[in-house]
Amino acid sequence: MRRPLTLAAISAVFLFAIPATAAKNTNTASAPPEIAEKQADLGELRSRIDNLRKDLSSSEENKADAGDRLRESERQISRLQRELHELGDQRGQLQIRMQNLEQQSRELGATLGQQQAQLEKLLYRQYLRGTPDSLQLLLNGDDPNQMARDLHYLAAIALTRAELMGEINATLDKKKSLAADAKERAEELLEIEAKQQERHSELNKQREERKALYGKISDKVNAQRKEIGTLQQNEKRMSMLVDRLSRILAAQAAQAAQAARAAEAARAREAVRQAELARQKELQKEKDKSRPSDPVIAKETPRPATPSEPPRTKTVEAENHYEPVASDGSFARQKGNLRLPVRGAVSGRFGSPRDGGGTWRGLFIRSAIGSEVKTVASGRVVFAEWMRGFGNLLIVDHGDSYLSIYGNNDSLLKQVGQAVKGGETVATVGNSGGNPDSGLYFELRHQGQPIDPMKWASLK
């Protein structure tokens, strides 16, 4: 057996790499100040809007409407569907995690096979060489140099074997950890699937109850919808809601702007302080370098300037076949390029008369129950609750006093305070609020005033 080849084989053992183990979940002991501050702001927003919702509900207590009898059922349907949506997301994430664990397990299995093969080779070579005693080799009269090389070779094999055994044990530990992790994820998946089945059962029950209730009061609901003044009252209620939301958002924006100015001023002061410290250090260095007989003339370093503070018709008029996509920039710059939030026939139109009085302040897009409702642009949910005349209603703030409004939904998949991206699914189409037809009521508002969505959206 040629020793150079053997030594090369031994060295090759150290070239095997072990795949990374499954990523560990890390939990920080406490949230950073910035995150804690944002959570506090979000809590304040939710508190204010929750108080607003309670005020609206209490003001309508003495004005019973047939559609109000559907309120709790429609709220429950929305809640159950949101929970099902969240459970579906969790299930998808768990399935991806389990796939990753399986892949890592296969990679570790391949590595373990390679390590075991290397160990077999080392053991075979050591068997061939035997385990001679150094004293016996010396008494046999063997060449001392050859004997030294043989002993060194055997020591290298023993060391490599020990290291390889350590790597094999580490790989086995990783496989054991992966197996435990996979078992835990599988149990979570089973638990989520059980919850999904439970929510599906509850949802079907709620739908049957709503269907039966609506069958009893549908005539009364339709009659009230046709009463003169009903639509005007609903529109007035919406305007009051938007006005109060706008005040809440304006106050929060003012607080955020004040905090930003204070933070900017603090950063500016810190920059000036750091610059002054650097100047003083430079002056000290110059003094240290100069001789005592030579006076040091310190040139005044210009101080950095403090940054200034930042100054009636049921005729189908159009058909929407497009959906929103994620977009950047301010909302105003997107005029003419938005997509309507749901596919379907656009009936009624901004400014046209409505049955029951009043005019359309938005659009009604006919669509099948369960169709996805998507935001027209990025923003933050500032209202997600049942409201008389509009059913399950969701409002998104896009900044600069622009709001988008989505009504008559079957379910609301987002809650107050959640950030959303353009084109993200936030609700599903329905006919809540006593609406006889399934579809989405959609409005755009700027500074509290309704604006024509068709001037902002493109159907091409």
* Dihedral sign of CA atoms 217, 219, 224, 225 in order: positive
Asked if the structure places residue 366 within a domain, the reply is yes
Let me know whether 218 and 321 are in one domain. Answer: no
- Lowest-pLDDT range, 130-139, 341-350, 366-375, 446-455? 130-139
Q: Does the pLDDT value for residue 13 go beyond 50?
A: no
Q: Which amino acid is at 39?
A: Q
Which strand (E) or helix (H) includes residue 92?
helix 71-129
In degrees rounded to 5, what are phi and psi of residue 210? -65, -40
What CATH number does the domain containing 355 carry?
2.70.70.10
Q: How far is CA 297 from CA 32, 230, 286, 294, 397, in A?
A: 46, 85, 9, 9, 60
Going by pLDDT thresholds of 50, 70 and 90, the confidence category of residue 229 is low
CATH of the domain at 177: 1.10.287
209 and 339, same domain (yes or no): no
Single residue among 224, 245, 267 that ends a domain in this structure:
224
**For residues 210-214, average pLDDT:** 83
- HSE, CB side, 13 Å, CA atoms: give it for residue 56: 23
* Residue 3, pLDDT score: 41
For 196, phi then psi, to 5°, come to -60, -45
445 and 322 housed in the same domain = yes
Ranges 253-267, 337-351, 372-386: which has the least confidence: 253-267
Q: Higher pLDDT residue, 245 or 152?
A: 245
Q: Does residue 69 sit in the same domain as residue 218? A: yes
- Residues 423, 342 contacting (CB under 8 angstroms): no
On whether residue 120 sits in a domain, the answer given is yes
Question: Do 210 and 351 lie in a common domain?
Answer: no
> Residue 231 falls within a domain, yes or no?
no
Residue 154 covered by a domain: yes
Provide the residue range defining the domain that includes 152.
65-224
Q: Is the pLDDT of residue 22 over 50?
A: no
397-436 pLDDT per residue, tens: 998 889 999 999 999 999 998 999 999 999 999 999 878 8
**pLDDT value of residue 19:** 37
Q: pLDDT tens-digit profile of 66-121?
A: 667 788 888 889 999 899 898 888 888 888 888 888 888 888 788 878 877 877 77
Q: What is the mean pLDDT of residues 350-366?
A: 84
Q: What pLDDT is attached to residue 140?
A: 59
The answer to whether position 382 is within a domain reads yes
Q: Contact at 8 Å (CB) between 154 and 131?
A: yes
Looking at residue 105, its pLDDT comes to 81
Determine the distance from the C-alpha atom of residue 412 to the mean position of all C-alpha atoms in its chain, rounded to a whole number. Answer: 17
In a domain, 447, yes or no: yes
The first and second tokens of residue 341, run together, are 């939030």
What angle do helix axes 230-289 and 144-226 make, rounded to 10 degrees? 150
**Count of structural domains within the chain:** 2
Q: Could you read off the pLDDT of 120-167 as tens digits, one per residue?
A: 777 776 666 555 555 555 555 556 666 566 666 666 766 777 777 788
Which has more pLDDT, 105 or 307? 105
- Cα–Cα distance, 395 to 371 (Å, whole number): 18
**What is the reported pLDDT for 20?**
36
Query: Residue 373 pLDDT > 70, yes or no?
Result: yes
Residue 356 lies in a domain: yes
- 414: tokens are 């987002």
Q: Which of residues 179 and 229 earns the better pLDDT score?
A: 179
Q: Is the pLDDT of residue 2 over 60?
A: no
* Residue where a domain terminates, one of 194, 224, 254: 224
Above 70 in pLDDT, residue 308?
A: no
Residue 400 located in a structural domain: yes
CA angle 425, 239, 338 (to 5 degrees): 35
Identify which has the larger pLDDT, 37 or 340.
340
User: 404 near 302, Cβ under 8 Å?
Assistant: no
CA separation for the pair 442, 438 (Å, rounded): 13
Final residue of a domain: which of 224, 250, 272?
Answer: 224
